[in-house]
Amino acid sequence: MKKIENIKQNGLNFSRRLRRTPFTSSVEKCGVKGFSVVNHTLLPKAFETSIEEDYWHLNSAVQIWDVGVQRQVEIKGPDAFKLVQFMTPRSLKNMKKGSCYYIPLTDETGGMINDPVLLKHSDNHFWLSIADSDVLLWAKGLAIGLKFRVMISEPDVWPLAIQGPLATSLLVDVFGKKIKELKYFHFSHFEFEGTSQIIARSGYSKVSGFEIYLEGFEYGEKLWDLIWNAGKKYNLSPGCPNLIDRIEAGLLSFGNEMTNQTTPLETGLEKYCQVNGSHDFIGKEALKRQKSEGITKCIRGVIFDGPPCPPCAEPWHLYSKSGIKIGNVTSAVFSPRLKKNIGLGVIKKPFWNDGTSIKVAVPGRILNNGKVSNLPFS
């Protein structure tokens, strides 16, 4: 009966095309109020608390997030490194086993295909922990067309995030003091139910946290229950990636701030693009040309007046003081810490400088006064 109620409330018609994760039953027991769909998989988006209550809790305690939507693209074989390197402008030459790299994936025009976290198991074995696009098919197509000697698959791996300032203390109780040895954007193996599981010091928030890459769907409820019971003394609560936290931190979302119509240079990812390096990659000539000529638009923060803004379901136009259209807001929310509406947006040159006065066309309102801001918001 619970699942029927959720279907009505969420407006989602569940079927095998919308994949459940090993933790979906657990979030249903915790009173999930809404889902989104990422990589054809259910992502919890709301619980009993408001987005503001969730924000303050995330920044003071610890939360457990079902992020099984972060599907893994596994690339194994003699040409695994060669293929992964060809997919990204970031040089992987010095990447060590057990490390995680944030990498842009680009197409032939330099446009963004995805922005996964890359996990290196060995020189011949990688996982791409992807955002919302079909990287599995992209990688398979490249491998077949270029005759790379690799095996590409989606393994039975389901990330579970533990986020918040008390995350370390909680996971030390569950997995031991070795948790403290994990460096940021590195992973190691931990025992669970007689299996070896990967835990990385990473997460989609500005606060500290970890991601458990659970291998084996059948272990999902046991892992959730173990952490849930251990977390009671730390005020653990169910949660999900928080929009206020994401925007304040300037964390970009593929499909919102980043698409194949934007390049890494336009989205502030230049440090991950060695366009003049020795390695070849898809879109290299396009990005070299863009870097030489200079970008004409980029992602910036915006701060604007008015009552708390509605969800930004469609891009909102941005205008200069003189009424020229200069870009769009792609994500927006009211920040209770800054006591202002804040957002992320694509802004044209030369209007992207910090402090530039702008106007934001929030639906159903007159133009709101605002200004451009550097990221992250301070």
Q: Do 170 and 44 share a structural domain?
A: yes
- Claim to verify: residue 322 and residue 287 sit in the same structural domain: yes
46 and 184 assigned to the same domain: yes
Burial class (CB in 10 A: 0-12, 13-18, 19+), 106: buried
CA 239 – CA 162 distance, rounded (Å)? 9
Q: Domain for residue 227, yes or no?
A: yes
Closest CA to 118 of 84, 163, 159: 84
Residues with Cβ within 8 Å of 323's Cβ and at least 6 positions away in sequence, in order, are 359
Final residue in a domain of this structure, among 222, 245, 268: 245
- Sign for the pseudo-dihedral over CA of 53, 56, 62, 68: positive
Residue 78: domain span: 72-153
Q: Same structural domain for residues 299 and 176?
A: no
Asked, for residue 89, whether it belongs to a domain, the answer is yes
Q: In total, how many domains does the chain have?
A: 3
Q: Are residues 41 and 133 in the same domain?
A: no
Residues of the chain with pLDDT under 70: 1-11
93 pairs with which residues across the strands? none
Contact by Cβ (8 Å): 77, 264: no
The SS3 of residue 235 is coil
Instruction: Determine the Cα–Cα distance for residues 357 and 196; give it in Å rounded to an integer.
Output: 54
* Contacts for 289 with CB less than 8 Å, ≥ 6 apart: none
Distance CA 340, CA 369 (A): 11
Residues 6+ apart with CB under 8 A from 29: none
State the alpha helices, DSSP H only, in the chain.
Answer: 2-10, 24-29, 51-58, 80-87, 135-146, 167-175, 220-230, 243-249, 284-293
Domain check: are 233 and 254 in the same one?
no
**What per-residue confidence (pLDDT) applies to 14?**
76
Distance between CA atoms of residues 296 and 351, nearest Å: 10
| Residue 217 within any structural domain of the chain | yes
Same domain, 232 and 346: no
Look at the block and give the residue holding tokens 């173990």.
Answer: 226
- Look at residue 378 and tell me if it is in a domain: no
pLDDT of residue 124: 98
**Dihedral sign computed on CA atoms, order 300, 301, 305, 311:** positive
Q: Could you tell me if 143 and 150 are in contact, meaning their C-beta atoms sit under 8 angstroms apart?
A: yes
Tell whether 185 and 46 lie within a shared domain.
Answer: yes
Q: How far apart are CA 110 and CA 90, in angstroms?
A: 13
- How distant is the alpha carbon of residue 151 from its chain centre? 25
Please tell me whether residues 233 and 197 are part of one structural domain: yes
pLDDT of residue 334: 98
pLDDT at 11: 65
Token pair recorded at residue 98: 């057990």
CATH number, residue 192: 3.30.1360.120
The pTM for the full model equals 0.94
362, part of any domain: yes
